[in-house]
Structure 1
Amino acid sequence: MTRFNFMFNIIITGPQGSGKGTQAKFLAEELNLEHIEAGRLLRELVEAGGALGKKISEYLLAGTLVPTPILINEVLKPRLEQVAQERGIVFDGIPRRLVEALALEEMLALIGRKITHVFYVQIS
């Protein structure tokens, strides 16, 4: 739990370059949340090689989004299983599409979590 006696599970979303990563890092530090950055996870898997890394690399090189089932079930789920149940999470860069949001929400429910806040970072 945080010092607020409440488990936050936060999504930070917004356009590229809007500062969402900066805000996610700030919230993670301030609220003692696990910071899960989708882009970093994907890059780490590509660098590690293996079948999953090669599959992800193909999508990234083609400039397309990684399909939702791969992103949610093969990338995020194993990472979330490493987070202590009593620790909140800030998601940075996920979801990017409605189908990802719905799949993320469904997967979180299966492990006893739910999204508590969504912040859209907008620049002017």
Structure 2
Amino acid sequence: MIKVIFLGPPGAGKGTQAVRIAEKYDVPHIATGDILRAAVKEGTELGKLAKSYMDKGELVPDDVIIGIIRERLSQDDVKKNGFILDGFPRTLPQAEALDELLKEIGMELDKVIYLNVEDEEIVKRLLARGRADDREDVIRNRLEVYRKQTAPLIDYYTSKGLLAEINGVGDINEITQKIEKAIGVNG
């Protein structure tokens, strides 16, 4: 069983690496961004609300995200194999809510993987990705929001002895191997 959070700025490679680990070890990959984008695409009430925040490069409110996570972590595949959280938590209140939720369901985190990538590399990557919300002004705003709201999680998880910092630039396979080593699974 693997219970891991992936942290890092938008475009650091969290999704790519989380999917690789999830597929290799048959662990559910829980990406809040995917869940939110699906809701936006479907035009649900949650989707419309989420879109109004996402279009400005702002974070979707905690209560909405935490509700989605609570529902997902209670499913059988998570109880059997664990989880990889990608894009959550993003703020200290979310991290604290996750701690409470994990306590409720009798699980503990194994590791928090922090993929560290410099801002200019992030801007380059996200502009190349070509999503509608990946304009340079929006990207830079997202990085600023990240620094203010998400970066404090690095200290939070370091103080709990859970953080493993990995350089998110380089060969994809080598980055995956570093993550596997940090999590304590054999590549």
TM (normalized to structure 2)? Answer: 0.57
Unaligned runs of 5+ in 2: 119-187
Show structure 1 runs of 4+ deviating over 4 A.
none
1:52-109 CA distances to partner (integer Å, 9 max, x unpaired)? Answer: 2222222222332111111101x22222233421121011111122111111221222
Contact 1:37 1:93 in 2 (8 A): yes
- Larger fraction in helix: 2
1:8 corresponds to 2:5: no
Residues 82-101 of structure 1 correspond to what in structure 2 (within 5 A)?
82-84=75-77, 85-101=79-95
Shift of the alpha carbon at 1:23?
1.3
Distance 2:38 2:74 in 1: 17
Q: Percent identity?
A: 40
Amino acid at match of 2:60: V
Cross-structure match for 2:35 = 41
Residues 79/123 of structure 1: CA separation in 2 closer, same or farther (3 Å cut): same
Cross-structure match for 1:4 = none
Residues 1-124 of structure 1 correspond to what in structure 2 (within 5 A)?
7-73=1-67, 75-84=68-77, 85-123=79-117
Amino acid at match of 1:77: R
Partner SS for 2:81: coil
Amino acid at match of 1:105: D
Residues 83/38 of structure 1: CA separation in 2 closer, same or farther (3 Å cut): farther
Partner SS for 2:80: coil
Distance 2:72 2:37 in 1: 14
Q: How big is the alpha-carbon RMSD for the aligned residues of Structure 1 and Structure 2? A: 1.7
Aligned residues: 117
Residues 123/58 of structure 1: CA separation in 2 closer, same or farther (3 Å cut): closer
Partner SS for 2:116: coil
TM (normalized to structure 1)? Answer: 0.83
Residues 110/53 of structure 1: CA separation in 2 closer, same or farther (3 Å cut): same
